[in-house]
């Protein structure tokens, strides 16, 4: 599995001299599976450059799958600027959490109404299919995907991807128990334990860590994790590598370096070998794992190919 970060910033794009190393674009991660399946995690402003690169690659029409965690702006603002959607013969499936009152398509169409953007979703020239997800599992190409609700201020799904390696993409997430954001994760028998089980034994976890414990009291209820919570949770889950992600727009490159140094110190003190780094725009990672497919899951199978009509998980309820 190959991973490339096109946007690592949280909340709002933040270009400028202070963010050149870790990047100013909002969430967008390209994933290429061992079998060549193209998946894109979130469609923040980083999707613009990804779309340009896909079109310029000279490989012909793209066939891809866009997995959206939730429809806050920083995760969808790149959609109207994602070039493959405007090109005939290209084919994209878009997945995201089923809304309470609107379908995924309706919500995405909302940001492309005429007061906001000159072209509506009807202007997509590509073949585009929308899939409203609830938590559970589905197969896309050679990738097994488990979607799990995250504790956030909107309906949000995290995604666990498995080909011959395992990747968990968990943004945005706030601990259910606020004290764990302050002290770091420890098992409590509550729903944060379920979150740790979602991360369990992954080769790489990409996780929201927008705040520090010191910052958290002013940010409680905003829907985000602290680095202390995430480092402890990844360690408890025996994760191999942890990418700190969804960088706060107020944290410049040097401040992110300090965040990583603090995280490493916390792991050293715990005697952990977990590798931690901050996700940087443009960074590529090759993941190799050895976990058999049968060991993954815990949720129901969606039971439908991504090529099928409608939402693979739409009628399945919670796993
Ligand atoms: Zn966000
Ligand atoms: Zn959000």
pLDDT in tens, 211-221: 999 999 999 99
Asked, for residue 136, whether it belongs to a domain, the answer is yes
Q: What is the pLDDT of residues 233-264, one digit of tens each?
A: 999 999 999 999 999 999 999 999 999 999 99
Asked, for residue 91, whether it belongs to a domain, the answer is yes
The percentage of residues in the chain with a pLDDT greater than 90, rounded to a whole number, is 89
Domain range enclosing 175: 2-286
Whether the pLDDT of residue 304 is over 60: the answer is no
Q: Which residues surround ligand 1, an ion (CB under 5 A)?
A: 10, 74, 172
Please report, for the domain that includes residue 207, its CATH number.
3.60.15.10
**8 A C-beta contact, residue 66 and residue 58:** no
Asked, for residue 140, whether it belongs to a domain, the answer is yes
* CA nearest to 160, candidates 287, 316, 267: 287
Number of domains in the chain: 1
Asked, for residue 7, whether it belongs to a domain, the answer is yes
Asked, for residue 313, whether it belongs to a domain, the answer is no
Ligand 1 centroid distance, CA of 157 (Å): 12
pLDDT score at 256:
98
Ligand 1 centroid distance, CA of 117 (Å): 21
Band (pLDDT 50/70/90 cuts) for residue 30 is: very high
Asked, for residue 43, whether it belongs to a domain, the answer is yes
247, containing H or E segment: none
Q: Among the bound ligands, name the one nearest to the CA of residue 11.
A: 1
Q: Among the bound ligands, name the one nearest to the CA of residue 210.
A: 1
Ligand 1 centroid distance, CA of 69 (Å): 9
Ligand 2 centroid distance, CA of 99 (Å): 14
Name residues whose C-beta falls within 8 Å of residue 85's C-beta, 6 or more positions apart in sequence. 51, 79, 92, 124, 125, 126, 128
Q: What is the pLDDT of residues 90-119, one digit of tens each?
A: 999 999 999 989 999 999 999 999 999 999
Band (pLDDT 50/70/90 cuts) for residue 290 is: low
Q: Among the bound ligands, name the one nearest to the CA of residue 152.
A: 2
Q: Among the bound ligands, name the one nearest to the CA of residue 174.
A: 2
Asked, for residue 242, whether it belongs to a domain, the answer is yes
**8 A C-beta contact, residue 153 and residue 143:** no
Strand order of the β-sheet with 127-133 is: 127-133, 91-97, 63-67, 38-41, 28-32, 2-7, 284-286
Asked, for residue 42, whether it belongs to a domain, the answer is yes
Q: Among the bound ligands, name the one nearest to the CA of residue 71.
A: 2
């Amino acid at each position: 599995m190959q991973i490339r970060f096109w946007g690592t910033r949280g909340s709002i794009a933040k270009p400028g001299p202070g963010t050149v190393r870790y990047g100013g674009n909002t969430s967008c991660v390209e994933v290429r599976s061992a079998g060549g399946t193209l998946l894109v995690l979130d469609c923040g402003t980083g999707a613009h450059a990804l779309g340009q690169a896909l079109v310029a690659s000279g490989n012909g029409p793209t066939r891809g799958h866009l997995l959206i965690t939730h429809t806050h702006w920083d995760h969808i603002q790149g959609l109207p600027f994602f070039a493959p959607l405007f090109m005939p013969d290209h084919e994209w499936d878009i997945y995201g959490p089923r809304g309470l009152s609107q379908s995924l398509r309706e919500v995405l169409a909302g940001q492309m109404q005429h007061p906001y953007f000159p072209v509506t979703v009807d202007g997509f020239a590509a073949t585009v299919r929308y899939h409203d997800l609830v938590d559970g599992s589905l197969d896309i190409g050679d990738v097994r995907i488990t979607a799990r609700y995250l504790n956030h201020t909107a309906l949000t799904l995290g995604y666990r991807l498995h080909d011959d390696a395992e990747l968990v993409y968990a943004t945005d997430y706030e601990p259910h128990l606020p004290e764990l954001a302050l002290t770091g994760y420890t098992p409590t028998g509550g729903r944060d334990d379920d979150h740790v089980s979602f991360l369990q034994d992954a080769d790489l976890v990409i996780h929201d860590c927008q705040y520090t414990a010191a910052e958290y009291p002013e940010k409680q209820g905003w829907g985000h994790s602290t680095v202390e919570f995430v480092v402890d949770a990844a360690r408890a889950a025996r994760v191999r590598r942890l990418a700190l992600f969804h960088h706060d727009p107020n944290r410049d490159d040097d401040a992110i370096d300090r965040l990583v140094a603090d995280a490493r110190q916390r792991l050293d003190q715990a005697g952990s070998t977990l590798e931690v780094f901050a996700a940087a725009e443009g960074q590529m990672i090759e993941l190799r794992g050895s976990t058999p497919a049968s060991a993954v899951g815990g949720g129901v199978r969606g039971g439908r190919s991504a090529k099928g009509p409608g939402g693979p998980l739409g009628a399945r309820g919670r796993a």
